[in-house]
Copies of this chain bind each other. A is one copy, B any other.
């Protein structure tokens, strides 16, 4: 057995937990449809303090999962998706905060989604899974937080689709959070964002193996379509500048043009690798559901005025961050959000961070984000009088405490 040395600044070996609800009474969705039962997978890192006031909920983006930090085993080659920001001494300092991350419903990492068996038919839901919204995802998270016995989260944080969930918490569950950190996100998917989502979906629909969503039992998955969808996504996560730096016009394993259609440029190789890789860890139907949830997201509704969404959010403290080279969720989205928050008199700090990393900057600008989020949380804990645990003061709380 290979034993990898887990880095000292990691939360270490973690395990995924599950929580199931709506076993008796169905969970009502915004569409009017219902789900029953609903399972949520989640992980926690760090320790909850005595009055349960140091909990931070991390919301993941399109392709993310509950596995935000740590390793699933000693020989796990890869840590969770936000390892850079969650751990002892990191932005979300697990020596001080109790960090929770759950997989969204509709996706494919254990929380209820289209891959699961539909109790009504005994077969996988496929396209019979109801369309879920960001609001539905967040209401499922509220149920998880209830289950964990936490009245109020110190903070909800996330980037991209995770940021939408953060804003949903702030707008519709403001009494359950003290602060919100929406990163590289929007309160309203723009037509360009919808267009990119739709192209990804069309690539999946175009794959005959997709078979109208009914492919779980026939052994033929719409991998080709899903890979194309992911390639489109990957372009939008980078910036021109970062692509120039990473790839330029360099060729892959060749000195000169081959004058054929094999992969030749490094950027082609990168896209193809990531597209194919994605099909090994993601589900095509989930891609449809999760992108649809993002497209539907529009906090300005039903009034048409975004500020109206935050009329009850005056006690929530906001740290809004955008990145100058993010052309998928350009800074104007965050500026519109900040205007709306300012209009209702909310406590909002906004930074438009100069970065060349494009949309991915919220994951890659680690040093900047560590200072920014760390300082914001420290201010918050101080202002809110939150008792942060001392190192060594470990409290085990039922079966959901961190198994280190």
Report whether A203 and B191 are in contact in the complex, using a CB–CB cutoff of 8 Å: no
Q: Which of B188, B244, B261 contacts A288 (CB 8 A)?
A: B261
Is residue A224 contacting chain B, with contact meaning CB distance below 8 A? Answer: yes
Q: In the complex, A241 Cα to B303 Cα: how many Å?
A: 23
Residues from chain B with Cβ under 8 Å of A296 in the complex: 257
Is A343 interfacial (CB-CB < 8 Å)? no
Would you call the interface of chain A mostly helix, strand, loop, or mixed? Answer: helix
Q: Does A231 contact B (CB under 8 A)?
A: yes
Each complex incorporates copies of this chain amounting to 2
Binds B, one of A80-88, A267-275, A360-368: A267-275
Q: Is A349 in the interface zone, CB < 8 Å from B?
A: no
Over the window 364-382 of chain A, the binary record of Cβ atoms lying under 8 Å from chain B Cβ atoms (1 yes, 0 no) is 0000000000000000000
A249 and B248 CA atoms in complex are apart in Å by: 35
A247 sits at the interface (CB 8 A): yes
Selecting from A160-168, A194-202, A311-319, the interface stretch reads A194-202
Q: Are A259 and B131 in contact (CB under 8 A)?
A: yes
Instruction: Let me know if B271 and A199 touch, CB within 8 A.
Output: yes
Which B residues are CB-close (under 8 A) to A247? 191
Residues of B within 8 A of A271 (CB): 195, 198-199, 202
Least CB distance from A313 to B in Å reads 22
Given A203-B206, A228-B203, CB of A244 within 8 Å of CB of B131: no
Q: Which chain B residues lie closer than 8 Å to A194 at the CB level?
A: 249, 265, 267-268
